[in-house]
């Protein structure tokens, strides 16, 4: 199969009317001020409550898990906010931001996370491409931690022969128990949709000696 058939170019995304942009900005503001702020306050209140539970280990553990779930929801909302705002700054700073994100993931979950970027990876990405890539990495990191129980994640960004851009996220977790295509949750479906919007293909496969590797490949021209 030639590259032209492997990567049919998806139609260009239509220009958005001003009214829609304003509505997205309004939604982003509401979501930030009303929902994200409240959740942040809840995490802080739980922290304060934990401080007065001396010696009550099971209560503290329970609170830890409530905090973690709340932080996960917050992380999802932040991503949604980012999508709604479509911030171009994210696109220009894609690699440095991803590095910072991986450092944060490492320190929060004690999972070692590395990033390799090939020299021919574009320095500046189109805003839409950066949004799709960030969301895909975020979901892969979440799956590696939640389902894989991984202790190491390797992210790589490269441009292969034929100007094919490739994002891989490899973990050393327990691997997928489901057969590919079998009742995947919303995460993999969402990642696949984003890769399709970039005119490419997504693969999620077992890797050796153990773990899962996600590979998203699409034409480099869709990144810039």
Ligand X SMILES: Nc1ncnc2c1ncn2[C@@H]1O[C@H](COP(=O)(O)OP(=O)(O)OP(=O)(O)O)[C@@H](O)[C@H]1O
User: Closer CB to ligand X, residue 170 or residue 222?
Assistant: 170
Could you tell me which stretch among 28-36, 67-75, 88-96, 178-186 binds ligand X (CB under 6 A)? 178-186
Q: Is 135 in the site for Mg ion (CB under 5 A)?
A: no
Q: Reduced to 3 states, what is the DSSP secondary structure of residue 43?
A: helix
Q: Which is nearer to ligand X, 127 or 156 (CB)?
A: 156
- 187-223 residues labelled b (16+ CB within 10 A) or e (exposed): bbeebbebbebbbbebebeebeeebbbbbbbbbbebb
Nearer to ligand X, 175 or 200 (CB): 175
What does 171 interact with, of Mg ion, ligand X, none (CB < 5 to 8 A by kind)?
ligand X
| Of the candidates 136, 120, 139, 118, the residue with the CA atom closest to the CA atom of residue 128 | 136
Q: Kindly tell me which of 173 and 219 has the beta carbon lying closer to ligand X.
A: 173
Beta strand segments in 161-211, E:
164-171, 201-206
Partner that binds at residue 212, options ligand X, Mg ion, none, CB closer than 5 to 8 Å by kind: ligand X
Single residue of 10, 80, 184, 196 touching ligand X by CB under 6 A = 184
* Element holding 224 (H helix, E strand): none
- Reduced to 3 states (helix: H, G, I; strand: E, B; else coil), residue 110 is coil
Site string for ligand X, 115-154 (x = CB under 6 A): ----------------------------xx--xx------
Query: How far is it, in rounded angstroms, from Cα 169 to Cα 158?
Result: 12
Contact pattern for ligand X over residues 185 through 224, marking x by CB under 6 A? xxxx-----------------------x------------
Structure tokens given for 87: 């911030």
């Amino acid at each position: 199969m030639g590259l032209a058939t492997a990567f049919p170019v998806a139609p260009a995304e239509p220009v958005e009317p001003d009214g829609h942009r304003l509505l997205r900005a309004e939604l982003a503001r509401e979501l930030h001020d009303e929902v994200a702020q409240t959740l942040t306050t809840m995490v802080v209140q739980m922290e304060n409550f934990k401080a007065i539970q001396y010696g009550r280990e099971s209560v503290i553990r329970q609170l830890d898990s409530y905090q973690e779930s709340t932080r996960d929801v917050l992380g999802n909302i932040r991503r949604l906010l980012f999508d709604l705002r479509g911030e171009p700054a994210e696109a220009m700073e894609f690699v440095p931001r991803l590095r910072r994100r991986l450092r944060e993931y490492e320190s929060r979950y004690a999972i070692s996370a590395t990033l390799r970027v090939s020299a021919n990876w574009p320095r500046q990405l189109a805003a839409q491409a950066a949004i799709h890539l960030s969301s895909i990495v975020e979901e892969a990191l979440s799956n590696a931690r939640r389902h894989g129980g991984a202790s190491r994640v390797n992210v790589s960004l490269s441009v292969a022969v034929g100007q094919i851009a490739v994002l891989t996220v490899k973990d050393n977790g327990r691997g997928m128990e489901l057969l590919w295509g079998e009742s995947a949750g919303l995460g993999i479906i969402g990642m696949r949709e984003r890769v399709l919007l970039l005119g490419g293909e997504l693969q999620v496969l077992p890797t050796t000696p153990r773990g899962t590797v996600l590979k998203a490949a699409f034409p480099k021209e869709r990144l810039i």
